[in-house]
Chain A
Amino acid sequence: MENSDRASALVIMPAWNEADSVGNTVREVLALAENYAVLVVNDGSTDRTADVARDAGATVMTLPFNLGVGGAMRAGFKYATRLGYPKVVQVDADGQHDPRDIHRVLAGLDQADISIGARFAERGDYQVKGPRKWAMAMLAGTISLLAKTKLTDVTSGFRAANEHAMAQYLDHYPAEYLGDTIDSLVVAVRSGCSVVQVPVEMRPRQGGQPSHNPLKAALYLGRSVFALLFALARKKSTVFTAEGA
C-alpha cells in the first residue's frame, strides 16, 4: 500500500459527529514536518464528518453504525496491523490534543509498548474536583501499581501503541464505556505490555465543555470503579502472535 511505505506512523482519529473540528485537526497533523498517515474512523456519524475529513486529506474509514470510541479504535488497530504500520497514535478529533505533541507521545514507544500523553498536573486550565478527582486518583494509583511506573492521567485518549501492544489490543479492546481507556490498559499491562507516560499539554476543546455536575461526577466514579474491577478480574491475554486477526 502506498500509504504504509512512506509514513512512519498512523494517526488514528476516532470521530463521531465532529464535522466542526475534524477538518482542522487533520490539516494540522498533515502540516507537520513528520510524515504521518491519518486515518479518520468515522464512527457512524450523521453529519458531514466523513466528507470534511476526506477533503482535509485523511483516509476515511466509515463504520456502518456507531460503535463508540473503543469500537472505532479497534477497527483502526486492525486496519493498521493489516497495512503493516509499526506504530499508531490515537488523537482526538476535537482538537484537544495538540498535533505538535504527537512526536513526543510516539517517542515514548522507544521505552515501552504503550505511551500515554498525560496532561501536566500543574499546567492547563483543566480543573477537576470532587468525585471525579477521586475517581481519577484511584484509577491512576491502581494502574500505576500494576504497571510499576508512575501514571497520573490514565483516562487520556492521547496514546500510542507499537505492534506488540496492537496485537494485545486486537485481542481485548472493549467497546464499552471506559473500555478504550481503563479496561484495555489494565488488561494490556497484566498481559505483559509496558507503559510509559509522556507529559503533554491539552488544549481546550473546540466544542463542548467538560461537565461539572456533581451527580454526573459521582456516576463517573461509580462507573470507573466498576470498569476497573471488571478489568482486574479479566482473563489475561495470551495471544501475541496475532497477524491481521
Chain B
Amino acid sequence: MGNLPAFILCLIIVAVVLEMVRRKQLREKYALLWLVVGLATLVLAAWPQLLGIVAQWVGIALPSNLIFILSILLLLGVCLHLSWEISGAEDETRTLAEEVAILRTQVERLEHGADSSTAQGSVPPRPSP
C-alpha cells in the first residue's frame, strides 16, 4: 500500500465531486475533469512507484517535478475552460438583457396605447407628470 493519508484525501475529493453531481450542483462537463484528476491521484497514492517510473520514462530527474508540471498544466487548462465558459455566459446574459429591454419597451407602449386611444404620431405621448 502506498501513501494512506494521500489516498484517503483523494477518495474524499472524488466522493465530494460525485455527490455534487448527484445533487445537481455541478454539471457533468465540469465534473469530468475533476474526476479524472481525482482518479489519477488515487492511482498515484496507491502506487507511488508509478510516479518514478513515468518520470524516468519521460526524462524528468525528480519525480515530484512531474507532479508539479502536470498540476500547473491542468490548472491552466481549467482556468482557460472557465474563462471560455464565462465569456459564453456573459454573451447570453447580454442577449437576454437586450431581449428583456425590447419587450419591456413594447409592453409599455401597448399599455400606453390602451390607456389613451389618441396615441398616434411619430412619438409616443408624454405621460402626465
Contact = CB atoms under 8 A, between A and B. Distances in A.
A and B interact: yes
Interface of A: 1-3, 6-7, 30, 35-38, 41, 54-55, 57-65, 67, 71, 74-75, 78-79, 82, 175
A3 B105 CA distance: 12
Given A6-B121, A7-B122, A75 B102 contact: yes
Given A65-B97, A75-B97, A59 B126 contact: no
Interface string B83-125: 0000000000010011011101100010001000001111110
Nearest to B127: A54
B129 interface: yes
Contacts of A7: 122
Contacts, number: 67
Residue of A59, A65, A82 with highest tally of chain B CB at under 10 A = A59
B105 A79 contact: yes
A231 B129 CA distance: 46
Interface string B26-66: 00000000000000000000000000000000000000000
Contacts of B113: 2
- Per DSSP, are chain A's interface residues mostly helix, strand or loop, or mixed? mixed
Interface residues of B, number: 19
B105 to A, nearest CB: 4
Contact of B105 (A35, A36, A61, A64): A61
B33 to A, nearest CB: 28
Nearest to A8: B122
B97 A63 contact: yes
A60 B123 CA distance: 11
| B94, B109, B120, B129, most chain A CB atoms within 10 A | B94
Contact of A59 (B97, B105, B129): B105
A175 B94 contact: yes
A1 B122 CA distance: 10
A158 to B, nearest CB: 21
A3 B97 contact: no
Contacts of B129: 55
A58 B126 CA distance: 8
B65 to A, nearest CB: 36
21 contacts: A1-B109, A2-B119, A2-B122, A2-B124, A3-B109, A3-B122, A6-B121, A7-B122, A37-B123, A57-B126, A58-B123, A59-B109, A59-B124, A60-B105, A65-B97, A67-B97, A71-B94, A71-B97, A75-B97, A75-B102, A78-B102
